[in-house]
Amino acid sequence: MSKFIINGGKPLSGKIAVSGAKNSALKIIPAALLSKQALTISNLPEIEDVERSFEVLEDLGAKIFRNGQEARIEPEGIKKTELNTKLADKFRGSVMFVGPLLARFGEVKFPHPGGCVIGAGGRPIDLFLEGYRAFGAEIEEVPGKFYDIKAEQLHAADYFFPFVSVTATESMMMAASIIPGTTVLKNCAMEPEIEALAGYLNTQGAKIKGAGTPTLIIEGQKEINAGNFKVIPDRIETGSFAILAAAANADLEITDCNPEHILTLLNILKKIGVDFSVGSDWIKVQKGRRPLRAHDIKTHEYPGFATDLQSPYVVLMTQAQGTALIHETIYDRRLLWTDMLSQMGANITMCDPHRIVVQGPTPLYGKRLMSPDLRAGIALVIAALIAQGLTEIDNIYQIDRGYEKLEERLRGLGADIERAE
C-alpha cells in the first residue's frame, strides 16, 4: 500500500490549478454508451476512478484512445451488457453504466457497486432500481451476487424521487434521453455536474429541459449523436484548496475553477474571517488575522453545503475560536473519520452518528493514520500539513481515486510531502 509522509507546519504559498471534476468525468464516460458515434473528452482528471471507468467501458467492448487529459471513446464495438464484477466492485461510479446500457440494449446485468464505505447498508441502489422499473424494466436480484435487468419495451416514465440523489438523477436522465416518449422526473438533484451532462447531451440532439432545477422533462430521442465534452472544474477540489489556504493561513491562488459552484462555502469563509477575492475562474485566499471564528454547518444537497466538503471543513474548525456543530445529513458513516483527527489533538465530541461538536482552536500533532475514504483522506492531508511533526497516511489509493498528483501539486506550494510504498 502506498502512503504519504508529511512533515507539517511548512509555510504554504503560490498557485494551484484545479483539475477536471471526478464526479463529472464519471458520468460523461458512461454517457458514451448512449450513442453509436465517438465521444472526445478533454480536461479529464488523471485519477484512479477515471481509470476504473475506462476499464469498465473497455471490458464492454469500446475502444479508448488516451492522451493524458484527453480521451476518445469509440463505442461501436459494444455488444456486451454485463458489467465485470471485479471492476464494478472497485468504485461506486460503476453504477453509472447501468442506465445507459439498459436504455440502449434493453438489458443489463451487474453486481452491487463498490466504493467508499460512507453510507449505511453498503450504499443502496434502491432508487435506481425503482427508477428502471418505472421505465418498464423487470429486475431479478440474486442477493450478494448480481442484478439482472431486462425490458421488452422501455417506455417513458413519470417519476418522483422519494429523496434527492445525484447519481440516480443522472442515471434516469441519461436513460430517458433515448427512451421513446416524454419522461418527467421530479425532486431531482441540481448539482452543476448534472447541468453539464444535460448541456452536452442536448448539444448532441437530446431534449432535456430543467437541468439544475428539481424537475426534468425529457423527450426521448431515437438516437443521439456524440461530440466533444470538456469536463467542468472540480468544485470539491476547489473548496478543499480554499479550506487548506484558510487552515494554513496561506496566500494561495486557486486557478482553473468556477467559484460560482462553491458559493455556500465562500459565504461561510467570509463570515468566519477568511480574507479572499474571487474572479470568474480563480480564488485568491490571503493570509489574515487569526484565529478564525467557529461556525456551524449542516450538509445539504446542492446548492447547500456539500457533504464532500464536510471533512476539510472539520479540520478548519479545529483552528477556529469557539464551538462548531457539524451536522452531516447525507451519509450515515461520514463522521467516523474524525476519531483520527481527535488522535491528532482535535477536541471533538461525537453527539450521534450524524453530529459532532468541534471546540477550537487546538494545535494538531503528527500521527500514523490510515485514509478510510476519499474525502476523509484529503482532510487528513490538510490536517497533516498544518500539524506539528510527521504524519504518515496509509492507504492513499483512496486519495488517488479522486485527486490528481496531489503530492506534486502540494509540493509546488512549499509542502513537505512524499509518497512511499
Taking the C-alpha atoms of residue 71 and residue 32, their distance in angstroms, rounded to an integer, is 11
The DSSP-derived string for 228-281 is EEEPPB-HHHHHHHHHHHHHHT-EEEEES--GGGGHHHHHHHHHHT-EEEE-SS
Cβ closest to ligand EPU, residue 22 vs residue 295: 22
Cβ closest to ligand EPU, residue 266 vs residue 378: 378
Angle at 176 between CA 175 and CA 179, to 5 degrees: 95
- For 140, what's the count of Cα atoms within 13 Å in the CB-facing half-sphere? 7
Cβ closest to ligand EPU, residue 168 vs residue 364: 168
- For 150, what's the count of Cα atoms within 13 Å in the CB-facing half-sphere? 4
Q: How far is the CB of 268 from ligand EPU (least distance, A)?
A: 17
Taking the C-alpha atoms of residue 413 and residue 173, their distance in angstroms, rounded to an integer, is 40
Q: How far is the CB of 384 from ligand EPU (least distance, A)?
A: 19
* Lookup result for grid cell 483520527: 340
Q: How far is the CB of 92 from ligand EPU (least distance, A)?
A: 6
Question: To 10 degrees, what angle do helices 126-134 and 98-105 make?
Answer: 20
| Per annotation, catalytic residue among 116, 188, 257, 351 | 116
Cβ closest to ligand EPU, residue 369 vs residue 374: 374
Q: How far is the CB of 19 from ligand EPU (least distance, A)?
A: 13
The terminus-to-terminus CA distance of the chain in angstroms comes to 6
User: Which residues would be at the binding site for ligand EPU (CB under 6 A)?
Assistant: 22-23, 26, 92-93, 116, 119, 123-128, 165-168, 189, 307-308, 330-331, 374-375, 402
| Cα 414 to Cα 62, 275, 358, distances in angstroms | 42, 21, 28
Number of H helices, E strands in the chain: 14, 24
Active site residue 188: no
Cβ closest to ligand EPU, residue 375 vs residue 387: 375
Angle at 107 between CA 163 and CA 143, to 5 degrees: 60
Taking the C-alpha atoms of residue 322 and residue 324, their distance in angstroms, rounded to an integer, is 7
Environment class of residue 346 by beta-carbon count within 10 Å: exposed (0-12), middle (13-18) or buried (19+)?
buried
Cβ closest to ligand EPU, residue 4 vs residue 97: 97
Q: How far is the CB of 170 from ligand EPU (least distance, A)?
A: 7
Q: How far is the CB of 343 from ligand EPU (least distance, A)?
A: 22
Dihedral angle, C-alpha 309, 314, 315, 317, nearest 10 °: 120
Which residues belong to the active site? 116
